């Protein structure tokens, strides 16, 4: 694989859907554990995972007088448990049921001296089976798992560069295991109007005005794509057309820019940065944000 294909691998969802579905559920088990044992943070920022040079990590999770960390290594295909008190465990990432993964995962935690309880129902997956009872999803293609991580690593670097163009409140660049997307969120600084009928998770996530950006592998109806949305969505946002090739999806209420289209561009990184910037400018300007106070003056820092 050449350097460009390594950074921008082929990830048509139809080619790896069984692995994607299984990996999504495994990562929910990992992420739910971080959520269960971490102090609450605004907008649920204690929940996501983060990119590493080899995969994904929970980052250190406080526990009693120390901390432990869980890392998914998509080069060696291992799930690694490590503690501040010197205990260490490894699980192979290989074809196995979600229920089997669940059982071994919590056995390893108990052997490390960590007691954790999670809600065993997957989130953001309609019609899902309890994680501890799911014997259907059991696929793991190491090459596609590695490709997914490699695409996430490329997007992580782009989002971090884009993050430097803003001086207002921003989220970290983080991976949400519920929706399986890598995201960055910018805030206007103003509270958002309450969402009628929203559950407590959504109320906390969207308590303030935002424009959000990220990358998602898709759901079958939509293939892998970059996205941008504003919440609450200002009048005229859907008609703003932030970049060539981007289209507004009325079901998702987001602008989507196909990953496959981007990876074939002469300069994929520039295309993504332009999409994010133009979507931000549309959302912030139409939403009446104080861009003089929030935007970093050009020239922007680059890498």
pLDDT at 241: 87
Q: Is residue 278 over pLDDT 80?
A: yes
Percent of the chain with pLDDT over 70: 99
Q: Which of 150-159, 194-203, 211-220 is least confident?
A: 194-203
The number of C-alpha atoms within 13 Å of 133 and in the hemisphere containing its C-beta is: 7
Q: Is residue 194 over pLDDT 60?
A: yes
Residue 170 gets which letter from DSSP? B
Beta bridge partners of 9: none
Region 127-133 average pLDDT? 97
pLDDT at 188: 98
Torsion angle defined by CA atoms of residues 124, 130, 134 and 138, in that order, rounded to the nearest 10 degrees: 30
Question: Kind of pairing, strands 247-249 and 208-216?
Answer: unpaired
pLDDT at 196: 82
pLDDT at 2: 57
pLDDT at 301: 75
Q: Is residue 1 over pLDDT 60?
A: no
Q: Is residue 155 over pLDDT 90?
A: yes
The answer to whether the bond into 299 is cis (omega within 30° of 0) is yes
Domain segments of the chain as ranges = 3-133, 145-294
Q: How confident is the model at residue 4 (pLDDT cuts 50, 70, 90)?
A: confident
pLDDT at 248: 97
232-260 pLDDT, tens digit per residue, is 999 999 999 899 899 999 999 999 999 99
Q: Is residue 221 over pLDDT 80?
A: yes
Alpha-carbon distances of 50 from 45, 168, 172, 175, rounded to whole Å: 11, 22, 9, 6
Residues 6+ apart with CB under 8 A from 40: 46
Question: What's the mean pLDDT when you consider all of the chain?
Answer: 96
pLDDT at 3: 82
Helix (H, G, I), strand (E, B) or coil at 144: helix
d(CA 284, CA 242): 12
Region 101-113 average pLDDT? 98
Predicted model pTM: 0.96
Q: Is residue 78 over pLDDT 70?
A: yes
13-67 pLDDT, tens digit per residue, is 999 999 999 999 999 999 999 999 999 999 999 999 999 999 999 999 999 999 9
């Amino acid at each position: 694989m050449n350097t460009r294909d390594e950074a921008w691998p082929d990830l048509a969802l139809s080619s790896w859907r069984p692995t994607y579905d299984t990996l999504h559920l495994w990562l929910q088990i990992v992420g739910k554990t971080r959520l269960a044992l971490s102090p609450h943070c605004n907008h649920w920022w204690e929940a996501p995972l983060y990119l590493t040079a080899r995969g994904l990590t929970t980052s250190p999770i406080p526990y009693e007088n120390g901390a432990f960390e869980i890392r998914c290594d998509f080069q060696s295909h291992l799930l690694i448990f490590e503690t501040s008190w010197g205990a260490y465990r490894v699980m192979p990432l290989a074809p196995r049921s979600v229920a089997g993964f669940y059982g071994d995962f919590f056995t390893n935690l108990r052997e490390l001296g960590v007691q954790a309880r999670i809600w065993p129902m997957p989130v953001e997956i309609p019609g899902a089976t309890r994680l501890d009872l799911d014997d259907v999803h059991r696929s793991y293609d190491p090459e596609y798992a590695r490709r997914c991580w490699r695409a996430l690593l490329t997007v992580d670097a782009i989002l971090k560069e884009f993050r430097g163009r803003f001086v207002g409140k921003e989220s970290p660049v983080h991976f949400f295991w519920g929706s399986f997307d890598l995201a960055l969120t910018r805030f206007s600084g103003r509270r958002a109007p309450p969402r009628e009928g929203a559950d407590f998770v959504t109320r906390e996530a969207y308590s303030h005005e935002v424009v959000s950006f990220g990358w998602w592998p898709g759901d079958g109806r939509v293939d892998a794509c970059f996205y941008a949305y504003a919440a609450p969505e200002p009048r005229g946002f859907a008609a703003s057309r932030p970049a060539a090739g981007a289209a507004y999806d009325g079901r998702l209420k987001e602008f989507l820019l196909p990953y496959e289209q981007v990876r074939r561009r002469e300069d994929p990184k520039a295309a993504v940065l332009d999409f994010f910037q133009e979507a931000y400018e549309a959302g912030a300007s139409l939403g009446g944000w104080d861009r003089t106070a929030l935007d970093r003056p050009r020239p922007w820092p680059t890498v």
